Structure 1
Amino acid sequence: MKSVDTDRQYEDFQQLHQLIVESEDIRAFLDGMTTHAAATLSRTTGADIACAVTLRRYKRTLTVAGSSETAVILDRIEQDLGHGPCLEAFRTFTTVLLDDTRNDPRWPLYSRSLEAAGYKSVLGIPVDVGETASACLNFFAPATGQFTAEAIREATVFTGTAGQALRLILRIITAELLADDLKAAMESRTAIDLACGMIMTQNRCTQEQAYKFLLRASNNRNMKVHVVANEIIRRLSGTKQTATHFED
């Protein structure tokens, strides 16, 4: 059994790694991941399983994606209601099964929404994506009894692999954001230094005096210092903007 699980994990990770390479953004990756997850559980159960994922980053950003529009809608309904198996899995970081919407008393409003959409059971599994984010997969089945012990084990194995892929793509996104922030900061610094140089030349003053002039202009105009600096550069040199040159 371990060999089968290991082979399956390897195949899943290869598929998810390819999604990372091909996806333009995190939403595209999540859509592809849930589509793959739904296909995996559909093969195991013999039923038409749908899947949705909820991803929270920095305790604020909420991203919902799914293998179908219905799966996304059901996940968003759960978020709006504030209760359901996915949110319970989030809260407890344990696997949560709603096996039969007709006789499970825990989430009556959400159960009615599921039944109206043609689903009778839900499996919520938390995804380990590190300290700065949290995620959960919701699997939806059209009939009761679909999430057997084997199906739950299969879903858990996939979720572990999905967590590895999610951690990887979140690190990539974080690194890209940091690089963009650094580039912007260096470009702003270049504009400020160049504007100070121009002020020093025109007024025969020190760099400290030139920078104080920029600060006063920034406060008086209620504008950022680098914006004032770029205005001075445009006015004195006739160029549209100043930028540091980088090689990507």
Structure 2
Amino acid sequence: MDDVLRELTRVSLGGRELGDVLGEITAIAARAIPGAESVSTTLIRGDKPFTAAFSSEMALAADELQYEQGYGPCVDAGRGGVVLRIDDMHTEQRWPDYVARVVRETNARSSLSVPLPYQGSSIGALNVYSSEPAAFASPDSLAAGLAVAETIAVAVANADAHAQLADQARNMRIAMESRAVIEQAKGVLMAERHVDAEQAFEILRQASQRYNRKLRDIAAGIVAGTQTPR
């Protein structure tokens, strides 16, 4: 368990694409979780699950069987926020259609699905598969899986925070550009119609309502009309 934690603490979260970070963490999970043969990370966005990273085809194929049917241990763990373990697909009763196909099509016999905790809810699941039955019956497997799941959740939260900052910066830039062109248009109107700043803005506002166009677009048109073509 200590080895798992050491590897996870070495993963750099900042300044990288989320897919690259999840790929690295998933690879660590495949090496470090006792019993793991194939590992994947399922994320759920807008109630739609998808595999964001996987260590081998077994995990990807098992995940996609569940997405196709709309249920299964990884989907239910991700949506319900509960740990779900299958010790033997041959005797499992909870997902009969899924377990019948997954053994035949992927050779998976046992699995462990651990939810990804995020702000009091779950945003997906860490999925661990093996071709051996009862591969994850050891408490060590669950402990390692929980540690990996927490690291994945932190990585997703970090990526979301960076995305929000980028959106805020972009929106601020757009707002500043809009304000600048509106001020330019007001200056044009003040010079041409001999009005003050408040009256110039009122002219822009009325034109925006009359033509059902954004104030910025009206202003941009006025500014463009004063520029001499080269």
Which AA in structure 1 matches 2:26?
T
Q: Distance in 2 between matches of 1:238 and 1:164?
A: 54
Selected match of 2:123 from 134, 151, 157: 134
Q: Is 2:46 the partner of 1:54?
A: no
After superposing the two structures, state which structure 1 stretch, 119-128 or 161-170, moved more: 161-170
Q: Check 1:104–1:61 CA distance in 2 against 1; reply closer, same or farther (3 A cut).
A: closer
- Supply the RMSD in Å over aligned alpha carbons: 2.8
Task: Give the Cα separation in 2 of the matches to 1:48 and 1:62.
Answer: 22
What is the distance in 1 between the residues matched to 2:191 and 2:47?
48
Residues 1:198 and 1:61: Cα distance change in structure 2 (over 3 Å): farther
Structure 1 residue 126: Cα displacement:
0.9
- Write the deviation string for residues 167-195 of structure 1: whole angstroms up to 9, x where unpaired: 22322222222222222222222222222
- The 5-angstrom pairing of residues 52-201 of structure 1 reads 52-56=41-45, 59=46, 64-67=51-54, 68=56, 71-115=59-103, 116-130=105-119, 134-149=123-138, 150-201=140-191
Name the structure 2 match of 1:37.
29
Name the CA shift for 1:189/1:82 in 2 (closer, same or farther; >3 Å). Answer: same
Preserved CA contact (<8 Å) 1:13 1:162: no
Give the TM-score normalised by the residue count of structure 2: 0.82
- Residues 208, 63 of structure 1: CA spacing in aligned structure 2 closer, same or farther, 3 A cutoff? farther
| 8 Å contact from structure 2 (residues 14, 158) kept in 1 | no
SS state at 2:91 partner:
coil
One-letter identity of the residue aligned with 1:97:
R
Residues 80 and 182 of structure 1: CA distance in aligned 2, closer, same or farther (over 3 Å): farther
What amino acid does structure 2 have at the position aligned with 1:93?
A: G
Letter in structure 2 aligned against 1:165: A
C-alpha deviation, 1:224, in angstroms: 2.3
Provide the C-alpha distance between the structure 2 equivalents of 1:190 and 1:176, rounded to a whole number of angstroms: 21
Assess if the C-alpha contact under 8 Å between 1:123 and 1:140 holds in 2: yes
- 149-158 or 124-133: bigger deviation: 124-133
The answer (yes or no) to whether the contact 1:89–1:95 under 8 Å persists in 2 is yes
Structure 2 CA distance for partners of 1:62 and 1:88, relative to 1, 3 Å: closer
**Unaligned residue ranges in structure 2 (runs of 5+):** none
Q: C-alpha offsets along residues 88-137 of structure 1, whole Å, 9 cap, x if unaligned? A: 22343221112222221211222234221222222111112225872321
- Cα distance between partner residues in 2 of 1:234 and 1:132: 51
The one-letter code matched in structure 1 to 2:85 is L
- AA aligned to 1:209 is Q
SS of equivalent to 1:237: coil
CA distance in 2, matches of 1:213, 1:160: 56
What corresponds to 1:217 in structure 2? 207
Distance in 2 separating the partners of 1:132 and 1:181: 28
* 1:59-114 residue CA offsets vs partner (Å, 9 max, x unmatched): 56765312245534543442342211123223432211122222212112222342
Contact 2:89 2:109 in 1 (8 A): yes
Q: Matches of 2:69 and 2:179 in 1, distance apart?
A: 47
